Amino acid sequence: MRVRKLAYALGAEITGVDLKQDLDAGMIAAIRAAWLEHLVLVFPGQNLTTEEHIRFSRRFGELELHALKNLQGKEHPEILEITNRIIDGKRSETAEVGRQWHTDGSATTRPSLGSLLYCRAMPEAGGNTWFASMYAAYNTLSDTMKGVLDPLESVQDLGYFYGNRGIGAREADKVSADIGDNPAVVQPLVTVHPETGRKALFVNESLIRQIHGMNREESAGLLQYLHRHATRPEFTYRHYWRVGDLVMWDNRCTQHLAPRDYDPDQVRHMCRTTLKGHSQGRYLQEAAPAT
* Torsions phi, psi for 93 (to 5 deg): -70, -10
Closest to ligand SIN by CB, 175 or 222: 175
Contacts of 15 (CB under 8 A, 6+ apart): 1, 2, 4, 43, 44
Other Cβ atoms within 10 Å of 238 Cβ, number: 16
- Is 97 a binder of ligand SIN (CB under 6 A)? yes
Site string for ligand SIN, 120-149 (x = CB under 6 A): ---------x--------------------
- Is 258 a binder of ligand SIN (CB under 6 A)? yes
Closest to ligand SIN by CB, 117 or 149: 117
Q: What share of the chain is helix, strand, coil (3-state, %, to 5)?
A: 25, 25, 50
What is d(CA 186, CA 206) in angstroms, rounded to the nearest whole number?
A: 15
Q: Where are the alpha helices (DSSP H) in 65-142?
A: 134-139
What is d(CA 37, CA 28) in angstroms, rounded to the nearest whole number?
A: 14
In whole angstroms, the minimum distance from the beta carbon of 36 to ligand SIN comes to 20
Q: b or e along 266-287 (b: 16 or more beta carbons within 10 Å of the residue's beta carbon)?
A: ebbbbbbbbbebeebbeebeee
Task: Work out which of 208, 237, 272, 280 binds ligand SIN, going by CB under 6 A.
Answer: 272
Site string for ligand SIN, 101-120 (x = CB under 6 A): --------------x-x---
- Is 231 a binder of ligand SIN (CB under 6 A)? no
Closest to ligand SIN by CB, 115 or 280: 115
Q: Are 192 and 199 in contact (CB under 8 A)?
A: yes
Please report, as residue ranges, which positions from 165 to 224 form the binding site for ligand SIN (by CB under 6 A). none
- Is 83 a binder of ligand SIN (CB under 6 A)? no
Closest to ligand SIN by CB, 184 or 270: 270
Closest to ligand SIN by CB, 115 or 133: 115
Task: Work out which of 14, 42, 82, 284 binds ligand SIN, going by CB under 6 A.
Answer: 82
**Bridge partner list, 248:** 41, 116
Q: Which residue, judged by CB position, is nearest to ligand SIN in the bound state?
A: 98
Task: Tell me which residues touch ligand SIN (CB under 6 A).
Answer: 82, 97-98, 115, 117, 129, 256, 258, 270, 272
